[in-house]
């Protein structure tokens, strides 16, 4: 239902009129009908809302429609999420870019490295299955490494100040971050920090590592169920 102030409103009710989901945003869409998100053999309802603006923000409501409908998950992210049967095995994977990295460490939006994330809903638990897709990460890692020019990378590593890092080449930082984040998000933390040690100026390594971990913790992975 469109409104002048916020664009759209959507309300999902149980048969007896109880509200289980309420969305107010610039635009709201039914993502796809008959999509079995949680693998229980029953179709689920996915509402997608967008707040408007150049670079923000999406919210998803996953609702299990039945005689007793319920809101299963509500996810917010600065980038959109796709739901696909990636391996054609009947399991729906949530394909996302971690929007928390937008403008990371003063990068422009177009320069930002948004790490890929692969999630799957198993029962009521949202699970990070990114480590199962290392081939896809390696493709991006290798592409980034191939674009790194040796002389520019050497100047970047030798930098003693942020100004010298920038002078080495403004495209170097995003390429190095693509490698580091690719390893980190695919479950290869040791390789991620090894790459950081090899390709990031020594004076700035501790700061950028802490910033990476903080940004990752505040991103879409905060919705992952880590209980045993």
> DSSP letters of 15-34?
TTS-EEEEEEESEEEE--SS
Q: What is the chain's alpha carbon radius of gyration, rounded to the nearest angstrom?
A: 20
Q: Angle at the Cα of 34 (from 33 to 37), degrees rounded to 5?
A: 105
Domain final residue pick, 77, 107, 138: 77
Residues 154 and 189 in one domain: yes
The more confident residue out of 21 and 160 is: 160
Residues 150 and 48 in one domain: no
Within 13 Å, how many C-alpha atoms sit on residue 118's CB side? 21
Q: Cα(114)–Cα(96) distance, rounded to whole angstroms?
A: 9
Residues 26 and 84 in one domain: no
**Tens digits of per-residue pLDDT, 170-184?**
899 999 999 999 999
Residues 151 and 98 in one domain: yes
Number of structural domains found in the chain: 2
Residues 113 and 36 in one domain: no
Q: At what angle are helices 189-199 and 150-157 packed, to 10 degrees?
A: 90
Domain final residue pick, 77, 92, 123: 77
Residues 84 and 72 in one domain: no
Furthest CA-CA distance within the chain: 68
- Mean pLDDT confidence for 142-163: 96
**Tens digits of per-residue pLDDT, 37-96?**
877 788 888 888 888 776 678 999 888 877 677 888 899 999 999 999 998 888 899 999
Q: Cα(46)–Cα(162) distance, rounded to whole angstroms?
A: 44
Sheet arrangement for strand 19-25: 2-3, 7-13, 19-25
Domain that holds residue 179: 79-228
Residues 116 and 198 in one domain: yes
Average pLDDT, the chain: 89
Residue 3 reports pLDDT greater than 50: no
Residues 83 and 195 in one domain: yes
pTM above 0.85, yes or no: yes
Q: Cα(123)–Cα(167) distance, rounded to whole angstroms?
A: 50
* Nearest Cα residue to 220 out of 135, 108, 116: 116
Q: Three-class SS of residue 118? A: strand
* Nearest Cα residue to 125 out of 46, 40, 185, 187: 40
* Nearest Cα residue to 199 out of 145, 163, 146, 162: 145
* DSSP helix, strand, coil percent of the chain (3-state; round to 5): 35, 30, 35
Residues 117 and 174 in one domain: yes
Q: Cα(194)–Cα(206) distance, rounded to whole angstroms?
A: 13
């Amino acid at each position: 239902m469109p409104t002048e102030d916020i664009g759209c409103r959507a309300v999902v009710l149980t048969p007896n009129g109880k509200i289980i989901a309420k969305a107010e945003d610039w635009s709201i869409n039914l993502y796809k009908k008959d999509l079995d998100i949680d693998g229980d053999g029953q179709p689920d309802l996915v509402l997608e809302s967008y707040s408007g603006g150049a670079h923000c923000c999406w919210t998803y409501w996953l609702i299990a429609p039945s005689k007793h409908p319920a809101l299963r998950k509500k996810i917010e992210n600065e980038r959109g999420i796709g739901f696909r049967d990636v391996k054609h095995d009947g399991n729906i994977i949530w394909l996302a870019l971690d929007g928390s990295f937008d403008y990371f460490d003063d990068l422009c939006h177009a320069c930002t490295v948004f790490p890929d994330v692969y999630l799957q809903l198993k029962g009521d638990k949202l699970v990070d299955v990114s480590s199962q897709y290392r081939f896809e990460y390696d493709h991006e890692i290798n592409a980034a490494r191939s674009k790194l020019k040796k002389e520019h990378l050497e100047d970047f590593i030798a930098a003693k100040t942020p100004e010298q890092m920038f002078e080495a080449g403004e495209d170097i930082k995003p390429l190095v971050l693509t490698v580091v984040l690719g390893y980190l998000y695919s479950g290869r933390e040791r390789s991620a920090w090894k790459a950081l040690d090899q390709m990031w100026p020594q004076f700035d390594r501790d700061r950028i590592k802490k910033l990476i971990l903080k940004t990752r913790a505040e991103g879409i992975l905060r919705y992952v169920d880590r209980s045993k």
